[in-house]
Amino acid sequence: MKKLLITGASGFLGSHIIQVAQSTYEVYGTYNTHALEGIDGANLFKVNLADFQELKQICTNIKPDAVIHTAALSQPNYCQNHPEESHAINVTASANIAGLCAQYSIPCAFTSTDLVFDGKNAPYKETDAVNPVNLYGEQKVLAEQAMLEQYPQTAVCRMPLMFGAATQKAKSFMQGFIQTLEEGKELKLFTDEYRTPVSGTTAAKGLLLMIEKNYHGVIHLGGKERISRYDFGKLMVEVFKLPDTNLKYCKQQDVQMSAPRPADVSFDSSKAFALGYKPLSVKEELEAIALLN
Ligand SMILES: NC(=O)c1ccc[n+]([C@@H]2O[C@H](COP(=O)([O-])OP(=O)(O)OC[C@H]3O[C@@H](n4cnc5c(N)ncnc54)[C@H](OP(=O)(O)O)[C@@H]3O)[C@@H](O)[C@H]2O)c1
């Protein structure tokens, strides 16, 4: 079996990639502050990827045949308030990973984001101009550019909003929504913030497909549907049979956050669909997740 190195294996997406990749690859995963334990068939290592020596050592030891780089400081509000710390992992470490993949000439997939766009001209194709409205989005743009410069064979996979079952050390935004409603508290969701979300499992399959195809350049791995946060909440209430009296709506302008948020960063992912990427509808994805509970 070929060796696949997944950075950020303790994170939401990284954990889903481990689950999906195990049947095809010998899986190696890294974590930093959240130690992973006892995942059958996965070899797990603590690495601070912001330390180049640690990163280089892990690559030398493992000699991977492919890398999926998901590790990041992924919360836009945190990045906005911690610019240097987030730059080190989101930009510098990403560029270093591309450099090492170039040395080994191996497939490298990077998880960028829909937040590279300003949200004013959706749906977005790969060829549309980026214009991030927050620091996290800016860092992902810098990482995309640096990685492609270091290694033009990098697959820059722009990921949409992702949801799914909680993993050993990570959750998606869904778990907070469900808990709030189950506790009888009010859950206010935006009617004017649109995304093309997919489950962690679908996203993992998309990334593995790009590795398999040795895809080079930018690709959008969005879902089939454009949906507002509020409509997502309504579907979640329906599928998970949650009490709905406390599900309320609001507008982006009603909530102040450290990092500005673009309104509509829906993707046009037809290029990935043509390559065989097959997200389900949001409702079907939620139904599949509900079956796991
Ligand atoms: N979630 C979304 O909806 C979404 C949407 C678009 C794009 N993305 C992108 O997709 C990727 C995965 O997102 P996610 O939601 O799975 O993120 P996540 O749950 O926040 O996980 C982030 C991972 O990065 C690791 N990490 C952070 N700093 C590190 C460091 N200095 N050294 C080594 N590892 C470090 C974390 O390790 P520890 O926890 O062990 O410290 C964790 O495994 C990210 O690149 C994110 O920007 C996510």
- 123: preceding bond cis by omega (within 30 degrees): yes
- What is the distance in A from the centroid of ligand 1 to the CA of 30? 11
Tens digit of each residue's pLDDT, the chain (293 residues): 999 999 999 999 999 999 999 999 999 999 999 999 888 889 999 999 999 999 999 999 999 999 999 999 999 999 999 999 999 999 999 999 999 999 999 999 999 999 999 999 999 999 999 999 999 999 999 999 999 999 999 999 999 999 999 999 999 999 999 999 999 999 999 999 999 999 999 999 999 999 999 999 999 999 999 999 999 999 999 999 999 999 999 999 999 999 999 999 999 999 999 999 999 999 999 999 999 87
Asked if residue 129 and residue 85 are part of one domain, the reply reads yes
Q: How many structural domains does the chain have?
A: 2
Residue 93 lies in a domain: yes
Helix (H, G, I), strand (E, B) or coil at 3: strand
Write out the two tokens for 254. 């009603």
- What is the distance in A from the centroid of ligand 1 to the CA of 94? 12
pTM for this structure?
0.98
Asked if residue 242 and residue 136 are part of one domain, the reply reads no
> What residues flank ligand 1, with Cβ below 6 Å?
8, 10-14, 30-34, 47-50, 70-74, 89, 111, 113, 159, 161-162, 170
* Residue 193 φ/ψ, nearest 5 degrees: -120, 115
Range of the domain at 185: 173-196+225-264+281-292
Asked if residue 207 and residue 124 are part of one domain, the reply reads yes
Distance CA 89, CA 50 (A): 5
